Amino acid sequence: MNLTPVLDVIGNLIYALQALTAIQGAFLVILVFRRIAQKRFGTPAASQEFLGEIRQRLKERNYDEAAQICDSPPYWSKASPQLILIALGNRGLPLAKLKQLLGEKFERDVLADLEYRVAWINTVIKTAPMLGLLGTVVGMIAAFGKIASSQKTGVDPSQLADDISFALFTTAIGLMIAIPLVMILASINVRIAKLQDSVQSDVGEFLDDFEATTRKA
């Protein structure tokens, strides 16, 4: 049975799938970086400027204006202002309940979304080498098939070289996709950790100011 046409189709399909995997990986990485940048203040100075504006409104007991600042550009897309907006809307809750509410909201709306996207990047990292391995198997099947069908006439070395080259090339492509993504994913995890730390710091500072204002009331 001549499997060469089938193996050729599978080989072309592997190349196409590897290209789609690389594109998807790059697309997901861009989305995650943009999402983190959207949720995080660019600099500590920008964060402190925002908290200073909110602190002043808290001293004036002007909660509506503080909420308006949180819900207006350039702050409305940041994680800290979103959480502070929720805190202002639920300021009648006890402080412990408010902290729990904000923690759950941050986990559900920000971290869970990022973890979902990171999980897809992990899937790409695992899929790319597997497609390369599939190409290796297909290339070796084609090579051994030609050896088996050419026992009498001999084997053309160039044909075997093409199949072995395909086997190694698909493996190399899979690794070339996965290795950079592994390094990028490490950078993403660091950025997510920094986002988490900055949001906890910002919200903690707001709650301290809010508690102090409430105590004076």
217 lies in some domain: no
Residue 115 located in a structural domain: yes
**Per the domain annotation, does 215 fall within a domain?**
no
The domain in which residue 42 lies consists of 4-207
Give the pLDDT of residue 124: 96
Within a domain: 214: no
pLDDT at residue number 3: 66
Residues 6+ apart with CB under 8 A from 176: none
Q: What predicted TM-score, i.e. pTM, was given to this entire model?
A: 0.85
In order along the chain (217 residues), what is the average pLDDT of each group of 10 residues?
Answer: 75 93 96 94 92 92 92 91 94 89 93 94 96 92 78 66 88 95 96 94 92 70
Q: Measure the CA angle with vertex 199, ends 196 and 203; round to 5°.
A: 140
Domain count, the chain: 1
pLDDT of residue 160: 78
Q: Give me the pLDDT at residue 7, please.
A: 78
Task: Give domain status of residue 212, yes or no.
Answer: no
